[in-house]
Chains A and B, each alone.
Chain A
């Protein structure tokens, strides 16, 4: 692929090509990928694997939505349906939402953004990916061989004494995957502390790095707890040790406390990296420093800390004491504030900015809108008296999909578009990408908004059938399934054009948007060691200067232009090929 010269874009203003040697062509062969220690190549390995797991989780979601088209459980048996929603949850939560942004974008960008050659422990980074794959393959095998029907929450005593499915094997996969998460977190923290380039002080760090730092704290402090919980569950199931079984003196609600002690902070593992991406997208595509940089930076840490103190809001109706419920409710309202602060700051950043309508910015708009609804409905659920009614109904399902899909997936897609030119050295087709973003936004809302209404009307979650005597319930379910179809099509479009662009996309300049981060000051795609010379940082975060000053650091590639081309010329799908 290297040295391939093409004619310029339809504007004809520049000629593009790959840098002579970059991380993609530095070495060839399957072995050079599977044994790589390059954080950028490991990011690509994550990209391929999380996309695979996302596709599996999406297929299960399609099955759920099809079943709920009619009130009667007429497509599959209830036992099958229970496995399907369990598989959807396990795949999406543990093998897509948690690893996606840190694994792909975090891995690729953190070393480059701080001016380092790699993460602090490149071998451990590769080990993380292997642990992730081992966990993923084991869990996927458990699903294929017979499945699991406990729900992704594995509540006891159903999961220990009653379920006749592959609970232990699936749990083992999640247990192993946890170590991947811990090692990634450890790597990010050590890298951020020790590998910053000269002049890259803490308050010159891109907010992407701050948010990933906060995420990493949760990963290393929270993940061991889920590992212990799963271990105890397996011991109880196999050896009846009596931790959770009341007949043996155990307490089933203890499991819920332990499970949510990790799994609530895990929600912040999913959303903080997405907020990390949004901060970058908003700054880059408005060409302004993030309003209130330090408030946005510290709000990430505040979320990480307070996030550990709110797990009991999942147990308001689980027999937890009324006073414990009140304290957890109070802290849950407090944890909402740093998220609100971020939203206000992003909005303020747009004031008097230079706002582009490129795809990454469209995803940032979508994120803010959807996260507002997701976050505000979180306040509904934190209100004790209100939660009694909607707990374990579709209201909760709608809420966490607004946060996880509307939040995490929008951030992930926006980030993928923003850094795709850097990762692959090719531009994606802007027109198609804008179209897909619109389809995804519409499809998403059509899928999940009706579920709020269903939940308030009383439709419980994890039901494979619902009362036929309630026509409005079916109307809302049909809307939701229709929306899911639109959303599914919307998600297929980027899958197609991203693959297409790797071969046919226009060559990307070093700094297409342009942005101010160090990742835009190296060629696209970057060389294996990221920079020709160690960068010395003398500017503040998001300090916008004329494009000519944002040149590639060190002896750049003479054939690669620095700056972006005019947005009007970015219609790649109309481009002539050599």
Chain B
């Protein structure tokens, strides 16, 4: 699939959002092809029907046309030709899809947590944002996403990307922005009362401006360093070694473990990735590392999704030098200082605004954020 060259269009397509990512021209070109096909068939068949309706209109009451039973040649023609045409659409669509869902190895990593009704972002360098996301132009950005409550969907029309976020899973998508600007971010999976207000903006910035934004970033530490603190506070360190060559604790040593194969009880092996680390924190007995006792307690309900992502970032950072926290940079990977104040503009970014603001009663009947209880449920 990767070998198929994707045609693209850089002309403005009427009634389409801006083209601001590397996918956008591909999707627009496919759109133009599909619209052309639809116009051809719809207008062609409509013209035939209108012609027949006029040419063969009923001229007198007792008219009896000569019956025509059918034609195998015609039936085969209009079965096979549409099938072949539809296969061209299939191949074209699938090749774009394949590209969109195979995240590149070298990319800037950003963690995303959806929550009724906001998007929370954490950059590898520690900057945290709500409902707005700043990214540099020309860099590959990989989003690792989950949700604290219901299913949401991350959608940036200008980038032509969309990915549902599902509780209990890490899902990924990626993009490479091609044009600086301010673009809508929407939630496109219905998520409850303020679904229409769950959105914001993606700010695509020139690299220099982005570095400036980073420099003015928050005073918080990097995700990995926040994870390190949690690692100490929650007592993880009492069982898990994080230094190379040290004595094994009661749990596996975590140094250099990320991305490697781990033997598990029962003989199988598993790649240590974000999802496995998350599972091991929340549901430790699911897949136990070979040679260890089932003694780790679950942290279900004690850590929120952002904290788990920080722990993941920390464990990821444990390893030989040259494997910087948050994965290898893609050239545009910021290396600037992570100290400073709040992001320059701290305005609430939301294209529609929280819809409850316009309501007589703010956020009515909304269950407490993150609540999974159903005490107030109607039958």
Contacts and interface: CB of A to CB of B under 8 A. Distances in A.
Interface of A: 71-74, 77-79, 82, 146, 149-151, 153, 155, 157-158, 161-166, 168-169, 237, 245-247, 249, 251-253, 286-289, 291-295, 316-319, 322, 325-326, 329-330, 333-334, 336-337, 340-341, 343-345, 347-348, 350-357, 365, 368-369, 372-373, 376-377, 379-380, 382-389, 391-393, 453, 456-458, 460-469, 472, 542-547, 564, 566-567
A343 B16 contact: no
B42 A352 contact: no
A163 B376 CA distance: 10
B100 A388 contact: yes
B96 A384 contact: yes
B188 A382 contact: no
Interface string B308-319: 000000000000
6 contacts: A289-B68, A318-B164, A355-B57, A383-B93, A384-B94, A393-B188
Contacts of B82: 336-337, 340
A354 B169 contact: no
Which 5 A-B residue pairings sit nearest by Cβ, starting from the closest?
A: A385-B96, A246-B168, A458-B157, A383-B93, A384-B97
A251 B102 CA distance: 23
Contacts of B48: 347
B90 to A, nearest CB: 5
A567 B61 contact: yes
Given A79-B365, A350-B53, A253 B166 contact: yes
A155 B151 contact: yes
Nearest to A354: B63
B58 A354 contact: yes
Given A164-B376, A319-B171, A372-B46, A333 B74 contact: no
Interface string B192-207: 1111110000000000
A395 to B, nearest CB: 10
B70 A376 contact: no
Interface in B119-149: 149
Given A155-B190, A350-B52, 6 more contacts: A162-B192, A292-B75, A341-B78, A343-B45, A392-B162, A543-B67
B160 A389 contact: yes
Interface stretch (B29-37, B231-239, B287-295): B29-37
Interface in B28-79: 30-31, 34, 37-38, 41-42, 45-46, 48-49, 52-53, 56-59, 61-71, 74-75, 78-79
A362 B27 CA distance: 37
B75 A82 contact: no
A237 B374 contact: yes
B56 A354 contact: yes
B254 interface: no
A146 B378 CA distance: 9
Nearest to A564: B61
Contacts of A351: 52, 56, 68
B379 interface: yes
A330 B355 CA distance: 40
Contacts of A71: 352
Interface stretch (B222-230, B260-268, B356-364): B356-364
Nearest to A387: B93
A163 B191 CA distance: 10
B186 interface: yes
A146 B41 CA distance: 46
B87 interface: yes
Nearest to A72: B358
Contacts of A468: 352
Given A319-B171, A343-B45, A460-B186, A333 B87 contact: yes
A78 B160 contact: no
Interface residues of B, number: 107
A158 B151 contact: yes
B184 interface: yes
A553 B353 CA distance: 69
Nearest to A462: B190
Contacts of A150: 190
A292 B189 CA distance: 43
A245 B373 CA distance: 12
A379 B379 contact: no
Given A158-B192, A347-B45, A458-B186, A252 B151 contact: yes
Nearest to A146: B378
Contacts of A322: 97-98, 101-102
Nearest to B169: A319
A339 B202 CA distance: 41
B323 interface: no
A78 B195 contact: yes
Nearest to A150: B190
B333 interface: no
Interface string B101-120: 11000000000000010000
Given A354-B63, A368-B45, A469-B351, A383 B15 contact: no
Given A166-B379, A354-B64, A383-B89, A467 B351 contact: yes
A392 to B, nearest CB: 4
B153 interface: yes
A467 B186 CA distance: 11
A93 to B, nearest CB: 16
A376 B188 contact: no
Given A166-B379, A319-B171, A337-B82, A386 B96 contact: yes
Given A158-B151, A330-B90, A385-B100, A353 B197 contact: no
B41 A467 contact: no
B180 interface: no
Interface string B1-41: 00000000000000111000001001100110010011001
Contacts of A82: 190, 192-193, 195
A318 B74 CA distance: 40
A74 B352 CA distance: 12
B378 A166 contact: yes
Q: Which of B48, B74, B378 has the most CB of A within 10 A?
A: B378
Contacts of A462: 190, 195-196
Contacts of B186: 458, 460
Nearest to A383: B93
Contacts of B184: 458, 467
Contacts of B361: 77
A355 B56 contact: yes
Given A146-B378, A453-B15, A465 B196 contact: yes
